[in-house]
Amino acid sequence: MTPTISRASILRALLKKELIAYSRDKLYLFLTILTLVFMVGIFWLLPDVVEESISLAVTPPIQTLVTDAQDTLRAMGATDEQLADVDQVDLTEGQEGLELVEFEDEAQMTAVIEGTLELWRTDAGDSVFRDVEAKEDKPKDADRVNVDIGIAFPDGFITDVAAKQDDITVRVYSDAAVPKEIQGAMQSFVREAAYQLAGQELPVDMPADDAIVLGQDRAGEQVSIRQKMRPMLAFMILLVECLAMASLISVEVLQRTVTAVLITPVKVSDFLIAKTIFGTGLALTQGLIVLALVGAFTAQNWSLLFVAILIGSMMFTGVSMIVGSAGKDFMGQLFYSMLFVIPLIIPTFSVLYPGSAATWVKAIPTFPVMDVLVGATIYGATWAESWQSLAYAAAWLVVLFGTGLVSLKRKVESL
């Protein structure tokens, strides 16, 4: 009498076979190890600081402009109280992240912006200039001040503005690498400074910040490149494992290994369950390892990250089933892999550009998973803030995983 083989024993045997096949796939085994080591290493080499301030150079110094204009303004009828207001003017007031660097000479300022002259500031607050072309030594106990944009006010600027003259020319210098939107912002800043220095109110009323900033305002909450890489690394390892699983399934289908397996007491359902467990477990384990190595887990977010990575792992396992069962040869499998992987990877770049994602990006199945990873690892999002994205991801999981199971089942039964 032939002993009955339990389903658990069959699943253990199939999972052992999957592990052996995976270890023999040298290409994807190498890519997996390379991804883990290389990306985690790059993560810890990336800067963990964010420069949120803009250094704006001005010449001549503001105090010089004010002092030179006092006599003329007094002759024009300005009171001592008005002169005191002009003397106490602060151009950086209300300009978050703006730092003024004052120059006595316009040529000196343009040389610093151009890069032929360097400005260093000592611990005592003194400014030291270094001639780059003369290869002068760098000053000790000093930090370099990077200046990319500067404003040169003409002589008599304040009095000319107060007299409402129309032929006032203010030169704005900028490095070629400065974005046009920053240059435009500085031109607007000059207009605002003109009214402020002349003691006049702006001729427009600005609305409140909450009326002009649409979506979630991240001002003051900028994150470093290293922090942005946390969710991206976990996501990338899921993509690598998706390609590896698709390759394993494709080889089994092309070489008819699955036919030999099904001759045994193994059922199609056993085969599909084993693929699901192995693919999900492989991606989940490596995703959690990456998050642990980059310090993403906290006492508050570990359960949320676990669920997000689990959903992502099952989602990519479903994709690997679709790709593996569709390709008729290596080139076909590669084509289908790229067909799925390229769109699915798009949401990972949304983390680099904070703001509201486009509607078509939100429609990509991997967007809600990435949204949860970004929220939990960067902004401290909780379950209450993430459940909607998780529900959206779970809905896409049902679609992709269900399609993968049906595709692989039909492919196996047709062999």
pLDDT band of 360, cuts 50, 70, 90:
confident
Residue 152, in any domain of the structure = yes
**Does residue 348 lie within any of the structural domains?**
yes
Mean pLDDT, residues 114-136? 80
User: What was the pLDDT predicted at 353?
Assistant: 65
Final residue of a structural domain among 160, 187, 212: 212
Which run of H or of E encompasses 346? none
Question: Can you tell me the mean pLDDT for 288-312?
Answer: 91
Q: Above pLDDT 90, what percent of the chain? A: 13
Query: Would you state the torsion angle of the CA atoms of residues 255, 257, 260, 265, taken in this order, to the nearest 10 degrees?
Result: -160
User: Do 114 and 174 fall into the same domain?
Assistant: yes
Taking only the tens place, the pLDDT of each residue in 335-344 is: 777 888 888 8
Domain of 168, in residue numbers: 54-212
Residue 91 has pLDDT above 60, yes or no: no
Same domain, 22 and 61: no
Residue that the structure tokens 């253990």 belong to: 12
Q: Which of 30-39, 74-83, 257-266, 404-413 has the highest mean pLDDT?
A: 404-413
Rounded to the nearest 5 degrees, what angle is found at the Cα of 354, between the Cα atoms of 209 and 370? 135
The pLDDT score that the predictor gives to residue 90 is: 58
Please state, as a whole number, how many other Cβ atoms lie within 10 Å of the Cβ of residue 54. 18
Domain boundary among 160, 189, 212: 212
Cross-strand bridge partners of residue 130: 118
Cα–Cα dist 117/108, whole Å: 8
pTM comes to: 0.69
Q: What's the mean pLDDT when you consider all of the chain?
A: 78
Q: Which amino acid is at 129?
A: F
Instruction: State whether 152 and 181 are in the same domain.
Output: yes
DSSP summary character for residue 365: T
Whether 171 and 239 share a structural domain? no
Same structural domain, 194 and 60: yes
At residue 127, φ and ψ (nearest 5 deg) are -95, 135
| 167 within 8 A of 158, measured Cβ to Cβ | no
Does 207 share its domain with 253?
no
Across the beta sheet with 54-59, the strand order is 98-102, 54-59, 149-152, 171-174
The reply to whether 169 and 291 lie within a common domain is no
Question: Which tokens sit at 284?
Answer: 């989940």
For residue 218, tell me if it sits in a domain: no
Asked whether the predicted pLDDT for residue 223 surpasses 90, the reply is: no
Instruction: Assign 3 to helix, strand or coil.
Output: coil
3-class SS at 174? Answer: strand
Q: Is residue 272 part of a domain?
A: yes
Question: In this structure, which amino acid lies at residue 88?
Answer: Q
Number of compact structural domains in the chain: 2
368 belongs to a structural domain: yes
Shared-domain flag, residues 24 and 123: no
DSSP secondary-structure letter at 378?
T
| 347 assigned to some structural domain | yes
Q: Are 241 and 131 part of one and the same domain?
A: no
DSSP 277-325: HHHHHHHHHHHHHHHHHTT---TTTHHHHHHHHHHHHHHHHHHHHHHHH
Whether residues 26 and 75 share a domain: the answer is no
Assess whether 203 and 151 both reside in one domain.
Answer: yes
Q: How are beta strands 54-59 and 98-102 bridged, if at all?
A: parallel
Q: How far apart are CA 40 and CA 270, in angstroms?
A: 36
Asked if residue 273 and residue 201 are part of one domain, the reply reads no
The residue out of 150, 178, 212 marking a domain boundary is: 212
- Would residue 1 count as lying in a domain? no
Give me the mean pLDDT over the 221-236 stretch.
79
Could you tell me which residue, 132 or 352, shows the higher pLDDT? 132
- pLDDT at res. 203: 47
Overall average pLDDT of the 228-248 stretch? 84
Q: Is residue 217 part of a domain?
A: no
